[in-house]
Chain A
Amino acid sequence: KQEVTQIPAALSVPEGENLVLNCSFTDSAIYNLQWFRQDPGKGLTSLLLIQSSQREQTSGRLNASLDKSSGRSTLYIAASQPGDSATYLCAVHSGGGADGLTFGKGTHLIIQP
C-alpha cells in the first residue's frame, strides 16, 4: 500500500528566503505526482503536476522535482512572500484504490513579513 509522508509538518521562515518542502512515497511505481496549495478553510489549488517520465516542472517561483527511484519529490519556493503562507500537499497517483491517489498530510508554511 502506497504511503506518502511530508516533512516538515510545519515550517516558519522570514520573507525573502528560498525554501524546500519534501514529499516521500514508499512505492516508486507511480504514474504522476501533484503538488497542491490549500488556504485555511478552502479547497485545494493545483500547483504542479509531474508525470512519472519527467524530472521537474516549473511555474513562476515554484519548481518541483521528482526522483522516482528514491521515492522523493521536492517543492522549491524561491524568494518567499507572505502570500505563500498556506498548507502544501502532495499527492501520488500509483493505481491503487478507486482513484489511485494517495495524499500526504501536508506542510503548514508560514512566511513571516
Chain B
Amino acid sequence: DGGITQSPKYLFRKEGQNVTLSCEQNLNHDAMYWYRQDPGQGLRLIYYSQIVNDFQKGDIAEGYSVSREKKESFPLTVTSAQKNPTAFYLCASSIGRSSENTIYFGEGSWLTVV
C-alpha cells in the first residue's frame, strides 16, 4: 500500500539529548513537510522540502534540523536546543507544492521529554 510511514510512534527524550524521527513515503511525492501539533492548537510548520537536497524553514524551525538526501525520506532531528519538544509530530507529503494538490499525512509520532 502507498503511504507515509512515521517511526517510532512513541519516543522519550532525556534532557540534552538529540532524537531523530523518521518519515518515509512511497507515493513518489516531491514535497514533504514536518508539522508540530500541540493540544488545542492548529498545526505549525517546522520544515518543508520541495525537492531532494533542498528544504526551507517553517514558522518554528528553531531547535530542529532536517535532511533530504533521498526523495522518499525526510527525517527530523529534535536537538537539545529545542526547549519544549513534548508534542505530536506529523510528517506529510504532496505531489508538488500544496497550491494545487492534496496533502497526505502519516500517523504521527509522540515525543515526550523525561
Contacts and interface: CB of A to CB of B under 8 A. Distances in A.
Same complex for A and B? Answer yes
Nearest to A30: B99
Interface in B55-114: 56-59, 88, 90, 92, 97-100, 102-108, 110
A42 B88 CA distance: 9
Nearest to A4: B42
Which 4 pairs, one residue from A and one from B, show the smallest C-beta to C-beta distance? Answer: A103-B42, A43-B105, A98-B48, A44-B105
A51 to B, nearest CB: 7
A43 B43 contact: no
Interface residues of B, number: 29
Given A100-B97, A105-B41, A105-B42, A46 B102 contact: yes
Question: Interface of chain A, helix or strand or loop or mixed?
Answer: strand
A54 interface: no
Interface stretch (A14-22, A60-68, A70-78, A89-97): A89-97
A81 interface: no
Interface residues of A, number: 27
A32 interface: yes
Interface in B10-41: 33, 40-41
A49 interface: yes
Given A42-B108, A103-B43, A98 B57 contact: yes
Contacts, number: 67
B105 A34 contact: no
B52 interface: no
Interface string A100-111: 111111100000
B51 interface: no
Given A42-B108, A43-B106, A44-B90, A97 B45 contact: yes
Interface in A6-44: 31-32, 34, 36, 41-44
Nearest to B45: A99
